[in-house]
């Protein structure tokens, strides 16, 4: 939490879950000034199955007072390929 005088500028909560095959992180909160408040929700997931690694990032940013909202989803996949030198 970040506070300036009587105004909370940044407040957020995080979670972390981890196991042998992947993980999950969340960050939820807001950032504000005296006029606007940006709410954010970020969700990161990773998973490994065999030689395949997958990652997903989902996020939502919004300023309700301005009717502003951005939603995004980024996905990635990587397959580890072993190569033999000749």
Residue pLDDT, tens place only, 38-56: 999 999 999 988 888 899 9
In-domain check, residue 86: no
In-domain check, residue 85: no
State which of 27-36, 47-56, 72-81 shows the largest mean pLDDT: 27-36
In-domain check, residue 10: yes
More confident site: 19 or 31: 31
Looking at the structure of the chain, the number of domains it has is 1
In-domain check, residue 84: no
- Give the CA dihedral 29, 13, 18, 55, nearest 10 degrees: 10
């Amino acid at each position: 939490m970040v506070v300036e005088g009587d105004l909370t500028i940044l407040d957020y909560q995080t979670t972390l879950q981890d196991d042998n095959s992947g993980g999950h992180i969340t960050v939820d909160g807001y950032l504000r000034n005296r006029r606007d408040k940006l709410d954010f929700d970020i969700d990161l997931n990773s998973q490994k199955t065999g030689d395949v690694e997958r990652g997903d990032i989902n996020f939502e940013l919004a300023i309700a007072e301005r009717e502003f909202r951005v939603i995004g989803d980024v996905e990635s996949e990587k397959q580890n390929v072993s190569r033999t030198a000749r």
